[in-house]
A and B are shown apart, each in its own frame.
Chain A
Amino acid sequence: MTTRRTLAAASLAATGAVAAAAAASRYARASARTTDDHPVAITVDRPLAEVAGRPDGHTLDPLAVLGDAVEVRYTTAPGDRGTEIRAWVREGAPVDRDTVRQALRETRQILETGSVMPPDEPVTRRRTLVSAPLEAAVRHAGEGGRL
C-alpha cells in the first residue's frame, strides 16, 4: 500500500474513531449530566474498616497527596460490594476532577492489587500524522472517563 493510501486509510479509521466516540459520548452525556457539585466516586472491593480505618488515621496515599483540596467520605457499599469512596473538590482548591479521578483509580489499584499499574507508555509505537488524538487520549486515560 502506498503512503498516500495508508494516510487515507488511517484518516478514515480516525474519522471512525471520532464518530464512534462522539456517538458514545452522546449516551454518556445523556446519562451523566453531572455538575461539579457531584463527587467523583469509586467502589473498592474491600471492607470499610480496611479502606477508611487506617492505623495512622490518614486517608490513602494517592488521596492524601491531595490534602485539604478534597473532602473524602467512605460508606459501605450494598450487597457485599465493598466500600464506596466519594471525593468532592473543595471550592477554590487547586486541583481538578481529573486529578481526583486518577487518585481514586490508583487508590483502588493499591487496595485491590497491592500496587499501581505501570502506565501505557510508548515503547514501540511510531508517531504518525493521525495518531495525535489517540496519543492525547492515552496520556489522560487515567484521568478521564465517567467516574
Chain B
Amino acid sequence: MRALQWTGVGELEVGQVPDPQVLAPRDMIVRVVRTVTCGSDLHLLNGYVPFMRSGDVIGHEFVGEVVEVGPEVARHHVGDRVVVSSFIACGGCWYCRHELFSLCDNGNRNPAIPETLWGHAPGGCFGYSHAMGGYEGSHAEYVRVPFADVGAFTIPDEVSYERALFASDSVPTGWMGADLGGVQPGDVVAVWGAGAVGQMAARAATLLGAERVLVVDPLAERLDMARTHLGCEVVDPTTEDVGAVLLDATGGRGPDVCIEAVGSEASGGGLVGAVDRAKQAMRLQTDRPAALRDAVYQCRKGGSVFVLGVYAALVDSFPAGALVNKGLTVRGAQMHGQRYIPMLLERMARGEIVTEHLATHTMPLDEGPRAYDLFKNKKEGCVRAVLVP
C-alpha cells in the first residue's frame, strides 16, 4: 500500500509499504478515509523527537472504514465507519480503569525509552516515533488498530467523516484541557494557540460555561476563525499587550484557567524566546516554552494552567516562582481520547461542535509532502491539511 513516510529530518516521501495485518486477537484493520496533519507532527519532522527511523509512517488523527477484525473484536464489524483515538490503550490496566487512557500501562511496546526519558512510560500513539511504541501511522491506505474495542468508535450516521475526523485527536485534546483544567461556569479562560487544538479547547471552555474565552495567537487568519466560528475574543501578541488585555478582561485578576495549546516550538517570547531558539538549535534544550511561561505568568492567583502542547523533554527558565507564590495548579497530559470521544460525537451530531472549517486544505495522500510544507510554513492560511488516501 501507499503511505507517507518520514525519511529524515525535514524529509517526507510517499512510498510503498507492506499492508498491515491482524497481529493480535483484539486488532482490526481500518481503510483510512481521511487523515490529517497535526502540529505535533512538526516536532518529528523538525527532528525534535529523535526517536524516528527512516521509513516510519507518520499520522495519528484519522477516520475510516473497518475492513478486517480480529477474533476478539466484539464492538466493530466490517463496514463500520469509525473514528480512532490517536492514543493506544488496552482498556484493562489501572490507568484505563480510571479513564487516564493516554497513560495506559500496556499500550506502549517500547516502555524502556520513555521510562529512561520521563521516569515512566505513557501509552502508545499511532505514527509518533518509537518512544511512543513505534506504531505505523495513519497517513496510509490502511492502518492496524490495536485494542480496537477500546480505541475505535462508530461514527453516528448524522456525522460526516469530515467532521468526525477531528474527534480522533484535536477535539478530545482541547476538551481535556478545559475539563481537567477545571473550567467552571463564570470563569474567564485564556487559550494560547489558535490551531485546531486551541480552537477546540476554546469551544470546550464555552460549552462548559466559561463567561469569556480569549484566544491568543499571532496569525490573523486563525484569530479570524476563533472569532467567526467560535465566537471567542482574540488577542494578537504582535500588535497587543497580552497581559494588559487579559487584566482588562478580568478586572485585574487574570484568567481563572489558562490553556497552553502551542507546544515546544513556540514563536515569540522576546529575548528569552530568542535564547530558547538558540539553545534548541544547539540541542542544549529540547523545547521552547514561551507560551507556557506566559500562561503561568498571566494566570490569576490560585488559578489553573493546563498544558496541551507537546513537549519532548527539557525546558529552561520555567517560572517556578510564579507557580509557587501564586499557588497555581499546573497540569498536562496527552489526550485521554477514549474518555471523551463518545460524548464528543454526540455533540457533533447535535451541531454543538463543528470542525469542518479547520480543514483548510484537502488533497490526495500522494501530495503529503506538499501538505506538510503548507502546514509547517503556514502557507495559504493553512490550519490543517487533510489527506485522502
Does B112 contact A113, Cβ atoms closer than 8 Å? no
Partner of B119, one of A28, A119, A127: A28
Does A23 contact B72, Cβ atoms closer than 8 Å? no
Which residues in chain B, 1-53, are within 8 Å of chain A measured between CB atoms?
3, 5, 7-11, 15, 17-18, 23-26, 47-48, 50-53
The interface residues of chain A lying within 8 Å CB-to-CB of B94 are 43, 45, 81-82
Q: How many angstroms between the C-alpha atoms of A140 and B366 in the bound complex?
A: 35
Partner of A131, one of B5, B10, B54, B120: B54
Stretch among B102-110, B215-223, B233-241, B247-255 lining the A interface: B102-110
Q: How many angstroms between the C-alpha atoms of A123 and B312 in the bound complex?
A: 25
Does A24 contact B116, Cβ atoms closer than 8 Å? yes
A124-B5, A124-B56 given; A117·B92 CB < 8 A: no
The interface residues of chain A lying within 8 Å CB-to-CB of B47 are 9-10, 12-13, 16
A17-B50, A117-B146, A126-B55 given; A45·B93 CB < 8 A: yes
Q: Looking at B53, B91, B119, B283, which has the most chain A CB atoms within 10 Å of its CB?
A: B53
A128 at the interface (CB under 8 A from B): yes
B181 at the interface (CB under 8 A from A): no
Does A45 contact B97, Cβ atoms closer than 8 Å? yes
B84 at the interface (CB under 8 A from A): no
Stretch among A63-71, A86-94, A104-112 lining the B interface: A104-112
Q: Please, which residue of chain B has its CB at the minimum distance from the CB of A117?
A: B109
A34 at the interface (CB under 8 A from B): no
Which residues in chain A, 108-147, are within 8 Å of chain B measured between CB atoms?
108-109, 112-115, 117-120, 122-128, 131, 134-135, 137-138, 140-147
The interface residues of chain B lying within 8 Å CB-to-CB of A24 are 116-119, 313-314
B195 at the interface (CB under 8 A from A): no
Does A12 contact B10, Cβ atoms closer than 8 Å? no
B113 at the interface (CB under 8 A from A): yes
A112-B90, A113-B92, A115-B24 given; A20·B53 CB < 8 A: no
The interface residues of chain B lying within 8 Å CB-to-CB of A127 are 54
A14 at the interface (CB under 8 A from B): yes
Partner of A109, one of B55, B106, B121, B134: B106
Interface string of B108-135 (1 = CB under 8 A from A): 0111110111111100000000100111
Chain B interface extent, by class: 35 or more
Does A125 contact B53, Cβ atoms closer than 8 Å? yes
Does B106 contact A145, Cβ atoms closer than 8 Å? no
The interface residues of chain B lying within 8 Å CB-to-CB of A109 are 90, 106
Q: Please, which residue of chain A has its CB at the minimum distance from the CB of B115?
A: A145
The smallest C-beta distance from B142 to any residue of chain A, in angstroms, reads 13
B260 at the interface (CB under 8 A from A): no
Does A20 contact B112, Cβ atoms closer than 8 Å? no
Q: How many angstroms between the C-alpha atoms of A135 and B47 in the bound complex?
A: 17
Partner of A9, one of B9, B26, B91, B112: B9
Does A14 contact B50, Cβ atoms closer than 8 Å? yes
The interface residues of chain B lying within 8 Å CB-to-CB of A17 are 50-51
A24-B118, A25-B116, A146-B120 given; A13·B53 CB < 8 A: no
B286 at the interface (CB under 8 A from A): yes
Does B54 contact A118, Cβ atoms closer than 8 Å? no
Q: Looking at A45, A119, A143, which has the most chain B CB atoms within 10 Å of its CB?
A: A45
Partner of A1, one of B11, B92, B284, B314: B11
Q: Please, which residue of chain A has its CB at the minimum distance from the CB of B280?
A: A16
Partner of B26, one of A113, A135, A140: A113
Interface string of B72-114 (1 = CB under 8 A from A): 1000000000000000001111100100000001100111110
Q: How many angstroms between the C-alpha atoms of A120 and B126 in the bound complex?
A: 12
Q: Please, which residue of chain A has its CB at the minimum distance from the CB of B111?
A: A145
Q: How many angstroms between the C-alpha atoms of A143 and B118 in the bound complex?
A: 17
Does B24 contact A138, Cβ atoms closer than 8 Å? no
A35 at the interface (CB under 8 A from B): no
Does A6 contact B112, Cβ atoms closer than 8 Å? no
The smallest C-beta distance from A82 to any residue of chain B, in angstroms, reads 6
The smallest C-beta distance from B115 to any residue of chain A, in angstroms, reads 4
Which residues in chain B, 286-325, are within 8 Å of chain A measured between CB atoms?
286, 312-314
Q: Known contacts A120-B134, A138-B110; can you find 10 more A-B pairs with CB under 8 A?
A: A1-B8, A13-B50, A17-B51, A31-B119, A131-B53, A135-B53, A138-B134, A141-B110, A142-B109, A145-B112
Some 23 contacts from A to B, beta carbons below 8 A apart, are: A9-B10, A10-B8, A13-B52, A20-B286, A43-B94, A82-B94, A108-B93, A112-B105, A114-B72, A120-B133, A120-B135, A124-B57, A125-B55, A125-B56, A126-B7, A131-B54, A134-B51, A137-B112, A138-B110, A140-B112, A144-B116, A145-B111, A146-B116
Q: Which residues of B contact A (CB under 8 A)?
A: 3, 5, 7-11, 15, 17-18, 23-26, 47-48, 50-57, 72, 90-94, 97, 105-106, 109-113, 115-121, 130, 133-136, 146-147, 283-284, 286, 312-314
Smallest CB-CB A-B distances: 9 pairs? A144-B112, A17-B50, A141-B110, A120-B134, A145-B115, A145-B112, A9-B9, A13-B47, A45-B94
